[in-house]
Amino acid sequence: MSTQAQDWSSYPRPLPPIETAQARPADSEQHRRYYLSVRMKFALTVALSLAWSIVSYLLARRWLHDLAAVEGNVLAMIMIFGIAILPGFMNAFLVFGLLMDRRPVRRQVADAELPGITVLVAAYNEEDSILSTIASLERQCYGGTLEVIVINDGSTDGTMDRLRSVAHPWLHVIDLKCNGGKANALNVGLRHATQPLTITLDADSYLYKHALRRLVERYLSDPPNTAAVAGAVLVRNSRQNLITRMQEWDYFHGIAAVKRLQSLFQGTLVAQGAFSLYRTDILRQVGGWPEDVGEDIVLTWSILRLGHRVGYCEDAVAFTNAPTSFRQFIRQRQRWSRGLIEAFKAHGALLFQRRMSTLFIWWNLLFPYMDLVYTLVFIPGLILACFGIYWLAGPMTLLVLPMAGLVNYLMFFIQSRMFRAQGLKVRHNPLGLLVYTLFYGIVLQPGCVLGYAAELLKMRKRWGTK
């Protein structure tokens, strides 16, 4: 689908960019004595992860030799690196990076200093959740200027009737008669945004207390080149069925940890549309949201390509509804995978920027390869192993498990600490954890492969999971 550039010249000009400041350094001499710069942390994390990978490779040589006797050296190397060595490096990088992560203190800001924000909510057939979303905005008690623009994107249910039933001075509703997609709806809202910061929020999401203030304060506390900050998105309907219970752990563990690590090394790769903050002038500079199925990742990469930083605020929490059926879940992950290919098509030049975050761009470039190897090699290998044939999956595959176990423990420890600080409690969900641990990849990665193929083959684009 072709994308036409947005012309923002006739729309309200944003206020001058907001000056941000680094978090105040700790006063103690002990803290300064043991301080490591972000670049030093990055170098150590890379070095330690490479060391782990080298040890893993040396231990896997016997496995590699046996497999090469069947498949040949080249295919054996492709298989072993995709199954064990690269996943092991990534797990090690997560472990060492999270151990070194010391997030700067979020600067507390008085109400009078809070900048104005415009919250954009694109709504399509959200009659069951839209009023709850607006109520969560009302309860935020944000001290600065608040402007909320809800764009009804041609809903065919009672969404517009629900919107007519509420009235607030800060709430504005735009009723689009025809459904044009999320990117179009957000761009319509952006044309009417009058505040220097723009926040996107999904119409089925519920903001936890102080989420807006914390997101803005994180932006004000981050380095001056920060142009966007991703909020923390967690599953709202995790008690609905096993599909949502499984996804609760993905949002709570994997997605949150990766964003935290990427933010540490100066480049969160996805400021997700479900809940993120952007500088309004930068949004207009890049042309708003593209007409892509992965509009949020393509937008984020366009911001990174301009040299800006994208951060992450782990304690600005929004709870959103996850897909409730297997079909919806697979379609969502296919859309995310397709969005990754769209991002590489539009902003592949990021692979050659001299920034710490470039490692994560290359990391993402390896996902299609690893997902393909997992789907075509490891899953069949598991089946063969059940019959005593250990060419593809056997005892040496267990090399990945120590780091995988450690990274999951670290993610749980870090997230649980954040929950306790906010008065939240981690729900008891052992069945969801078991399914997430044992079967998530078996379901997820073949779906991702289908998403990559759909974009590479230029198949018809499909939005949404409803």
Q: What is the pLDDT of residue 394?
A: 62
Could you tell me if 150 and 163 are in contact, meaning their C-beta atoms sit under 8 angstroms apart? yes
350 confidence band (pLDDT: 50, 70, 90) = very high
Residue 344 has pLDDT above 90, yes or no: yes
pLDDT at position 219 is 96
Residue 80 lies in a domain: no
How many residues comprise the chain?
Answer: 466
State the Cα–Cα distance between residues 147 and 119, nearest whole angstrom.
Answer: 6
Q: What is the mean pLDDT of the chain?
A: 87
What is the reported pLDDT for 27?
40
Is residue 160 one of the residues assigned to a domain? Answer: yes
Nearest Cα to Cα of residue 394 among 412, 377, 370: 377
Q: Which amino acid is at 177?
A: K
Provide the pLDDT confidence category of residue 267 given band limits of 50, 70 and 90.
confident
Most confident of the following: 31-45, 257-271, 303-317 = 303-317
Q: Is residue 154 in a domain? A: yes
Question: How many domains, the chain?
Answer: 1
Q: Please give the share of the chain, as a percent, with pLDDT higher than 70.
A: 89
For 190-211, how does the pLDDT look when each residue is reduced to its tens digit (9 = 90+)?
999 999 999 999 999 999 999 9
pLDDT of residue 29: 42
Q: Look up residue 228 and give its two tokens.
A: 């966007």
Structure-model confidence comparison of residues 368 and 402, the more confident one: 368
Q: Exposed, middle or buried by CB within 10 Å (0-12, 13-18, 19+), for 1?
A: exposed
**Listed range (86-100, 329-343, 414-428) with the worst mean pLDDT:** 414-428
d(CA 3, CA 28): 53
86 in any annotated domain: no
Does the residue 335 lie in any domain?
yes
Asked if the model's pLDDT at residue 188 lies above 90, the reply is yes
CATH code assigned at 307: 3.90.550.10
pLDDT of residue 414: 87
The parent domain of residue 315 ranges over: 111-352
Residue 369 lies in a domain: no
153: in domain: yes
Q: What confidence score (pLDDT) does residue 396 get?
A: 58
Task: Evaluate whether residue 436 is within a structural domain.
Answer: no
Residue linked to tokens 């969502």: 332
